[in-house]
Amino acid sequence: MTALAERIARLIAVQGPLSVAQFMTVTLHDPKSGYYATRDPFGRAGDFITAPEVSQMFGEMLGLWTVQAWRHQGEPSPARLVELGPGRGTLMADALRAAKVMPEFLKATEIVLVEASPALKKVQEETLAAAACPLRWTDRFDDSLRDRPLFLIANEFFDALPVRQFVAADDGWHERMVTAKDGRLFFALAPSPTPGLIAAGTRGPADAGAVYEVSAAATALMEEIAGTIAVKGGAALIVDYGHRGEGYGDTLQAVRGHQSEGVLDNPGDADISAHVDFSTLAQAAQAAGAATFGPVEQGDFLTALGIVQRTEGLALRAGNQADVWNDLERLILPDRMGSLFKALAVLPPNTPKPEGF
């Protein structure tokens, strides 16, 4: 048992079981032993590899998409480019390099990285040390980012936001909780059903044992982002693994050393995430007054943006062309990242369909 697991067990003994959302928050963000607070989990030496670490082309495509969205909205100045959860800073470095094709964009735009992890912020500062424009960091998306046109990128960010889980029973939906016994963590259901939980019914009949997931944090954040874009202008591009809100299922997962493991096995030493409900995100954005496009599959999105043509150009200059084409396949093929990962765009109302959608 990890040190954090022992602390969680003691906490449960004092105050009672934790919701899955509370467990995720502590496990990922505890300042002393939380997963993201204490390490750089990205890349082959870490626990998982994200699309920006697969190929520079991913960040380039997202950067060019953002520049094009800025141009379509009349090149507003001043504007702001924000990345949520910038990882190692790789995506932003590639996006800014691609954005050099439009120097006016970089001159007009403040670059802000939203990062709560001191360990990752340090890595980002090193990665972006040679950036040709000023950068600043903040630990959360707040009102200071809502005063001008907002162009926002979030890649594999929403999947790490905490979710609550509810399990169907004959008498209603019971919340799934994390509890402890004899120092061990395990799942249990709240003894009484959760009153007023009617959103799950919109997905159709649920058999006993069906799991319904909801992320209040994701919905609230999307409302803030979309509300800003609806009023001030801008565009948000959300890329993540997830679904379109159909049916039920337990998508909570833990990954350590590029291998799946039990969610409760090693709190603080494994990444914990859940699939993004893109339908709910889109509904939240629309309720805040913005227009949404997608979700579309990542493979289709990147292909429409010209990633195959970009691969051809890189391959001509690469020492090993096979590696470049293999990276492309990993990003766009349906049985790799191409189908599971999806893209959702959020723009001001009455905006024409953006590239890739």
pLDDT band at 87 (very low <50, low <70, confident <90, very high): very high
Tell whether the model's pLDDT for residue 46 goes beyond 60.
no
Q: How far apart are CA 61 and CA 63, in angstroms?
A: 5
Cβ atoms within 10 Å of 316's Cβ, excluding its own: 9
Fold of 36-162+214-261+268-347: Rossmann fold (3.40.50)
Q: What pLDDT does residue 27 have? A: 93
Tell whether the model's pLDDT for residue 210 goes beyond 70.
yes
Q: What pLDDT does residue 142 have? A: 94
Per-residue pLDDT reduced to its tens digit, 248-289: 899 999 998 878 899 999 998 899 999 999 999 999 999 999
Tell whether the model's pLDDT for residue 44 goes beyond 70.
no
Print burial letters for 157-176: b (CB count within 10 Å at least 16), e (below 16).
Answer: bbbbbbbbbbbbeeeebbbb
Which of the pair, 227 or 170, is modelled with greater confidence? 227
Q: Which 8-state DSSP code applies to residue 196?
A: T
Q: Show me where the domains of the chain are located.
A: 36-162+214-261+268-347
Per-residue pLDDT reduced to its tens digit, 303-336: 999 999 999 988 888 777 888 899 999 999 999 9
Q: How far apart are CA 31 and CA 342, in angstroms?
A: 31
| Partners of 102 in beta bridges | none
Per-residue pLDDT reduced to its tens digit, 96-125: 999 999 999 999 999 999 999 888 999 999
Print burial letters for 193-223: b (CB count within 10 Å at least 16), e (below 16).
Answer: beeebeebeeeeebeeebbbbbbebbbebbb
pLDDT band at 177 (very low <50, low <70, confident <90, very high): very high
Q: What pLDDT does residue 6 have? A: 92
pLDDT band at 45 (very low <50, low <70, confident <90, very high): low
Q: Give the mean pLDDT of the chain.
A: 92
Tell whether the model's pLDDT for residue 201 goes beyond 60.
no
**Average pLDDT for residues 173-183, to the nearest whole number?**
93
